[in-house]
Amino acid sequence: MRIAKHPILDFKKQKRIPFYYNGEKIFGMTGDTIASALHDNGIMVYRVTDKSRKRGFFCAIGKCSSCMMKVDGIPNIKTCVTELKAGMHIECQKGKGSYK
Amino acid sequence: MIRTDVLIIGGGPAGLGAAIETTNRGLKTLLVEENPIYGGQLIKQTHKFFGSHSHFAGTRGIYIQDELLKEIKKEHFSMLPGHSAVGIYDDGVIGIYDSKKNRFKKVSAKKVIVATGASEKTIPFKNNDLPGIYGAGGVQTLMNVYGVLPGKKILMIGAGNIGLIVSYQLIQAGADVVGIVEALPKAGGYDVHLAKIRRMGVPVFFKHTIVEAFGQDSVEGALIVQIDNKWKHLNGTQMQLECDTICLAVGLTPSSEILMQTGIKMTFSPSLGGYVPVHNEFMQTSSPDYFVGGDAAGIGEATSAIIEGRLAGISASDSLGKEKNAEKAYKEHVDYIEKLRDGNTGIKVKKGKYELWNKPWDTSMETFEKKDNTIKIPKGRTKAYVSIECYEDIPCNPCEISCHFKAITVGPNITDLPMLALEKCTGCMSCLAQCPGLAIFGINKNLAPGRTGITIPYELLPLPEKGDPVWGADRDGKIICSARVEAVRKNKNKTHLITISVENEYAENVRHFYPGASGDVLICRCLDITADEINDAIDRGYTDFEELKRYLRVTTGPCQGRGCRQLIMNMIRAKTGEDVSSHSTGTPRPPESALPFSAFTKGGGK
Ligand SMILES: Cc1cc2nc3c(=O)[nH]c(=O)nc-3n(C[C@H](O)[C@H](O)[C@H](O)COP(=O)(O)OP(=O)(O)OC[C@H]3O[C@@H](n4cnc5c(N)ncnc54)[C@H](O)[C@@H]3O)c2cc1C
Ligand code: FES
């Protein structure tokens, strides 16, 4: 959910950009990271570990590796520090990830 | 290979502070910052900082990095955002990674200053990896940098400064904080931060811990339990709380892993938050080539991080022969940092540092004489005045500076409590908007007969408007009376001043307000007639039911007065004190309830 109005911060108006999550077209904003755009779309599960545990992001600053996903076919991308670009294909990562 | 005199790793307050010193001494300085934006923790901190006015106190964190940048000499400075230092190799070469271009680069520097900040601690509980459980820094980044709300109902774990501040920021962003869970019997954070969220009605569960999080794909709730002083769970005290986000604010630990690769001496210091590089008062590590500052050298706060960074910068310059009068350059900063760490809130860090420096520690340094800053208000005082509700020796003095009439004194020791000279206070309320703790309130006993005006520093949306009905809440956020907004004074720094009026007896206790519902009390629902209209008519002399009916047309709607007749009679009785049982209540006429006209024509009646 976007913060529409904030008592202290002025969020600049951004452009909506399309991207794909597990093949489905959704939208984020310019300036988003992949993680912030997914979260805004209500998507919380970014990967499922080998022991079937679901993971979302945790630290949001690229330190903990909780948020790794498959981005444009490449696994293990830290989505909390990767800028969202129009047309990106993001997939929920299984286990340690694969290139397939 | 990139060659530079000084490499600074980390672009938070410590790194920027260091760059000010090295660039102003003509040293070629390169700063690498992992994030695309520099500023470190500052970029998320929407609250006003504590400390001394001369060192950014009263300024919101988000503006401080730009102020620091202004002091850096640009011709000697280059900055690489989006670059992380990933290794320091045996030959002293530093490897950096350009995340945008996905490229590894090498840097050779004469001196390296490490200002990499801290990482967050976590705690073990069942399902602590469930999506929806975030570190407090993660929550702050998501909402204050990217403008996305982490959730709607938040459970905060930890009542240190970070837990308290982030709770407040969550409320500002529009979330509901369902509670704060704290294992200790009292909050580790500043009293003023606690007071701020308490008066907004956030419950704080002291001596409690979280046992488990539950939910299918993400957090749906948590189970918390009370603990005794040996951390044993007390059965029967378990409590389930509904929430969609759990925010962990259980402490920070210095993040200087990269320095460990150089073989410098490290030490474990509980007072400084974990493993820290051994360093001297001027921030030099056990190697003459490496310097450290800020949270990486022990968890502190931003003001001391800036100063430590500056010291590291001076030290590095000194070791390169670029500082002629090092003694003098150090002194100013060393003295200030000592002052910052006075008082109960800073003493832990001070002790940790003294241990590190093998400086003698005198236990008498741990006790502080605390002045009593409560004041008695003389009965006859009619002029407005301020109530300073700041009773803890935190390093802070913007109130003193903000008072044009010199009515508030903190003095040279910025951990001393503010003292109000009531006779000098004009009730101008300038200090309310400057106090970073939002701990000063305005009191005006002369607002209107029987009513006191209370001015509250306010940073929430929506802002009320003059005349709005609101509910007055006490210091625990409990509603205790109705109130009315009397004035809204908007300020450029976005701490606005709202004056509400309450009946005198509540003046000592009301410190917050909740918006009341605007709108009317409807009496006659058929014809939209309000209680105000009826009372007004009675006041104007329509004191009889028949008169009111003719004047306002009450009871003549389709329900034939079923809904309102009794209410109106009561209102007349309440206003006039008359026994109205003898009043005519009008003559209801057929049809008793609304029928279509066609029913009559078809029925053949006349
Ligand atoms: C919620 C909250 C509220 C706070 N409120 C206050 C307050 O009111 N007053 C106050 O004085 N202090 C406050 N603080 C504390 C203050 O923000 C920190 O003490 C201060 O930011 C520490 O500065 P620093 O430069 O050491 O670290 P940081 O600000 O953490 O900066 C470190 C920087 O280094 C970068 N980095 C890390 N590793 C690498 C690497 N390998 N390569 C490149 N870059 C790297 C990071 O990305 C980061 O930008 C608060 C902190 C928090 C979390
Ligand atoms: S959430 Fe921690 S690395 Fe992305």
The per-residue DSSP string of B259-282 comes to HHTTT--EEEEGGGTEEEE-B-TT
Chain B residues with CB-CB distance to A63 below 8 A: 119, 255
User: Cis bond leading into B462, ω under 30°?
Assistant: yes
Contact assignment for A45 to B217 by CB distance below 8 Å: yes
- State how far the Cα of B404 lies from the Cα of B425, in Å rounded to an integer: 9
Residues 6+ apart with CB under 8 A from B466: B485, B486, B487, B488
Q: Is the CB of A62 under 6 A from ligand 2?
A: yes
Contacts of B106 (CB under 8 A, 6+ apart): B1, B2, B93, B94, B95, B96
Q: Are A19 and A88 in contact (CB under 8 A)?
A: yes
- Cα torsion B125, B126, B128, B131 to 10°: value is -160
The verdict on residue A2 lying in a domain is no
Taking an 8 Å cut-off on Cβ atoms, the answer to whether A56 and B218 are in contact is: yes
A10 in a structural domain: no
Alpha helices (runs of H) in B199-250, residue ranges in sequence order: none
Q: What are the residues whose beta carbons fall under 8 Å from the beta carbon of A19, sequence distance 6 or more?
A: A25, A26, A27, A28, A34, A37, A84, A85, A86, A87, A88, A89, A90
The tokens 């009026």 sit on which residue?
A: B501
Locate the chain A residue with the closest alpha carbon to B141.
A60
Per-residue pLDDT, B194:
97
Of B351, B313, B359, nearest to B333 (Cα)?
Answer: B313
Nearest-Cα residue of chain A relative to residue B40: A61
Helix (H) or strand (E) holding B163: helix B161-173
Does A47 map to a domain? Answer: yes
**CATH number, domain at A74?**
3.10.20.440
Q: What percent of chain A has pLDDT over 90?
A: 87
Which helix (H) or strand (E) covers residue B98, if one does? Answer: strand B94-98
Are the beta carbons of A40 and B461 separated by less than 8 Å?
no
B242 token code pair: 């509904």
DSSP letter at B145 equals I
Strand partners of residue B8: B31, B113
CB B265 within 8 A of CB B286: yes
Distance B306 CA to ligand 1 centre (A): 10
Closest CA of chain A from B363, distance in Å: 38
* CA-based nearest distance B138→chain A, Å: 4
B133-250: which CATH number, 3.50.50.60, 3.30.360.10, 3.40.50.20, 2.60.120.10? 3.50.50.60
Would you report the helix, strand and coil content of chain B in percent, each value rounded to 5? Answer: 30, 25, 45
Residue A7: inside a domain = no
Q: Is B149 within 8 Å of A6 when comparing Cβ atoms?
A: no
Q: Could you report the predicted ipTM of this complex, rounded to two decimals?
A: 0.97
Q: Which residue of A has its CA nearest to B47?
A: A8
Domain B133-250 in the same topology as domain B2-116+253-357: yes
Question: Please, is B579 exposed, middle or buried when counting C-beta atoms within 10 Å of its C-beta (0-12, 13-18, 19+)?
Answer: exposed
| Residue A40: closest C-alpha in chain B | B148
B34, B217, B459 ranked by CB distance to A7: nearest: B459
CB A60 within 8 A of CB A84: no
pLDDT reported for residue B55:
85
Ligand 2 neighbour A76 (Cβ under 6 A)? no
Q: Which of the listed residues A44, A55, A59 should we mutate to test ligand 2's pocket, taking the one with most ligand atoms within 8 A of CB?
A: A59
Residue length, chain A? 100
CA of B510 from ligand 2 middle (Å) equals: 42
Using CA atoms, how far apart are residues B172 and B168, in angstroms rounded to an integer? 6
Q: In angstroms, rounded to a whole number, what is the distance separating the alpha carbons of residues A7 and B461? A: 6
- Distance between CA atoms of A35 and B290, rounded to whole angstroms? 35
How deeply is B518 buried, as exposed, middle or buried, from its count of CB atoms within 10 A (0-12, 13-18, 19+)?
exposed
Q: What is the pLDDT of residue B283?
A: 98
Phi and psi at residue B397, in whole multiples of 5°? -145, 15
**What Cα–Cα distance (Å) separates residue B477 from each residue in B2, B194, B436?**
57, 12, 20
Instruction: Name the residue of chain B whose CA is nearest to A55's CA.
Output: B131
Return d(Cα B181, Cα B205) in angstroms, integer.
5
Distance CA B370, CA B391 (A): 9
Residue type at position B497: L
Non-local (6+) Cβ contacts of B281 within 8 A are B311, B330, B334, B353, B357
Confidence at residue B606, expressed as pLDDT on a 0 to 100 scale: 54
Residues of B in contact with A76 (CB under 8 A): none
SS3 B533: helix
Of A4, A6, A36, Cβ closest to residue B142: A36
Would you say B272 and B349 are in contact if contact means Cβ atoms under 8 Å apart?
Answer: yes
d(CA B185, CA B178): 19
DSSP 8-class letter at B296? G
Task: Please name which of B71, B67, B61, B19 lies closest in space to residue B40, comparing C-alpha atoms.
Answer: B61
Residue A100 covered by a domain: no
Cα B478 to Cα B321: distance, rounded to the nearest angstrom: 62
pLDDT in tens, A1-27: 899 899 999 998 899 999 999 999 999
Give B138's contacts in chain A (Cβ within 8 Å): 57-61, 80
Q: Which tokens belong to B173? A: 């962003």
User: What atom in ligand 2 is closest to the CA of residue A79?
Assistant: 4
CB contacts of A55 in chain B (<8 Å) are 129, 131
**Residue whose C-alpha is closest to residue B316's, from B292, B332, B336:** B292
3-state secondary structure B219-231: CCEEEEEEECCCC
* Ligand 2 nearest atom to the CA of residue A60, by list position: 1
Radius of gyration of chain A (CA): 14
Q: Is residue A60 part of a domain?
A: yes
Burial of B591 (0-12, 13-18, 19+ CB in 10 A): exposed
Pocket test for ligand 2, best of A34, A63, A77 (most atoms within 8 A of CB): A63
Q: In the A/B pair of chains, how many CB contacts fall below 8 A?
A: 103
Confidence (pLDDT) at B601: 85
Q: 3-class DSSP state for residue B133?
A: strand
The secondary structure of B395-455 as a DSSP string is: SB-HHHHH-TT--EE--SSTTSPPEE-GGG--S--HHHHH-TT--EEEEEEEEETTEEEEE
The two tokens of residue B62 are 């988000």
Q: Which amino acids bring their CB within 6 angstroms of ligand 1?
A: B 9-15, 32-35, 40-42, 45, 47, 49-51, 84-85, 115-118, 137, 140, 161-162, 165-166, 258, 294-296, 300-303, 305
**Which residues span the domain enclosing A84?**
16-94
Asked if residue A67 is part of any domain, the answer here is yes
Closest-CA distance of chain A to residue B154, Å? 14
Tokens of B278: 């051994």
Residue closest to B188 by CA, chosen among B206, B170, B166: B206
Smallest Cα–Cα separation from B48: which of B343, B401, B309?
B401
Per-residue pLDDT tens digits for A56-71: 999 998 889 999 999 9
The structural domains of chain B, with segments of one domain joined by +, span: 2-116+253-357, 133-250, 385-515, 524-576
Ligand 2 nearest-atom number relative to CA A68: 4
Q: Please check whether residue B37 is in contact with residue B43, taking contact to mean a CB–CB distance below 8 angstroms.
A: yes
Of A7, A33, A59, which is closest to B494 when you measure between CB atoms? A7
Successive 10-residue mean pLDDT values, chain B, 606 residues: 97 98 98 92 93 88 95 97 95 93 96 96 96 96 96 97 97 97 96 97 98 97 97 97 98 93 96 96 97 97 94 97 92 92 86 94 80 85 94 93 96 92 95 97 93 97 95 97 96 97 96 89 93 93 92 88 90 90 80 85 70
The Cα B447–Cα B502 span in angstroms is: 10
Asked if residue A60 has its Cβ within 6 Å of ligand 2, the reply is yes
- Say which residues have a Cβ less than 8 Å from residue B461's Cβ, sequence separation at least 6: A5, A6, A7, B172, B174
Is pLDDT larger for residue B583 or for residue A52? A52
| Cα–chain center distance at B124 | 27
Which residues of A fall below an 8 Å CB-CB distance to B?
1-9, 11, 31-33, 35-36, 39-40, 44-46, 53-64, 66, 80-81, 83
Q: Which of B32, B33, B148 to mutate to test the interface with A (most CBs of A within 10 A)?
A: B148
Please answer yes or no on whether B494 and A63 come within 8 Å at the CB atom: no
Residues in CB range of B543: below 8 A, 6 or more apart: B572, B575, B576, B578
Is the domain covering B2-116+253-357 a CATH 3.50.50.60 domain? yes
- pLDDT tier at A100, thresholds 50, 70, 90: confident
Distance B198 CA to ligand 1 centre (A): 26
pLDDT at residue B364 in the model: 83
Q: What domain count does chain A have?
A: 1
